[in-house]
Structure 1
Amino acid sequence: MIHELRVFHCVPGRLPALLKRFENDTLRLFEKHGIKQVGFWTVAIGESNNDLFLILQWESLAEREQKFGAFGNDPEWLEVRKKSEEHGPVEASITNTILVPTTFSMLR
């Protein structure tokens, strides 16, 4: 089991648009493509309150490549993303980290 930490660094003032996109469309499309989310977090105290943290769960890198690739090329997702950016970009950048649990991790 591997986990992917994705951090969406939003353009100032655009975090609400990103949250709306996930809640109204992206999660449904994740389900369509079999993408499993562990959870989402925003920042209450920290460096930036314009960030959204997301952890995804994968059986393998091959599963990630297949499912995330299909999601990224889904015409419905491309339209959702385009519509959410009608008033300008939502993300300034996205960082992505593949995590491997330690032998003593409760989450494996």
Structure 2
Amino acid sequence: MIHELRIYHCVPGRLPDLLRRFETVTLGIWERHGIRQAGFWTVAVGPSNQDLYYLLEWESLAERERKWGAFASDPEWLARRAETERDGAIVASVENMILAPTAFSSVK
């Protein structure tokens, strides 16, 4: 199993819009494409409360490339994303990491 950590740094004040988009739009489209999430977090204490952290689970990098590519070019996703951003960008920047578990990790 491969885990991908994605961190979305929101435009100030737009985190609620991002959370709403994930809950009402993105997760349904991911389900259709077979994309599995392992959890979502916001920052309660830390450097910024305008960030969203989440983990995705992949069987392999090939699965990630195939499914993420299909999602990224999905016509419904492109239309709905544009709809949610008609008043301006929601996300200022994205960090993306593929994580490798250590030998002693409880998550493999």
TM bucket, shorter chain: over 0.9
Unaligned segments of structure 2, at least 5 residues: none
Q: Distance in 2 between matches of 1:46 and 1:100?
A: 24
Equivalent in the alignment of 1:104: 104
Q: Distance in 2 between matches of 1:87 and 1:25?
A: 17
SS where residue 34 of structure 2 aligns? Answer: coil
Q: Distance in 2 between matches of 1:80 and 1:46?
A: 31
SS where residue 96 of structure 1 aligns? Answer: strand
Shift of 1:51: 0.1
Shift of 1:91: 0.3
Equivalent in the alignment of 1:77: 77
Paired residues for 1:1-108 under 5 Å: 1-108=1-108
Letter in 2 for 1:77: W
Deviations 1:50-108 (A, max 9, x none): 00001000000000000000000000000111011011100000000000111111011
Q: Distance in 1 between matches of 2:94 and 2:83?
A: 19
| Cα RMSD (Å) | 0.4
SS where residue 7 of structure 1 aligns? Answer: strand
SS where residue 21 of structure 2 aligns? Answer: helix
Q: Distance in 2 between matches of 1:51 and 1:11?
A: 9
Paired residues, number:
108
Q: Distance in 1 between matches of 2:104 and 2:59?
A: 19
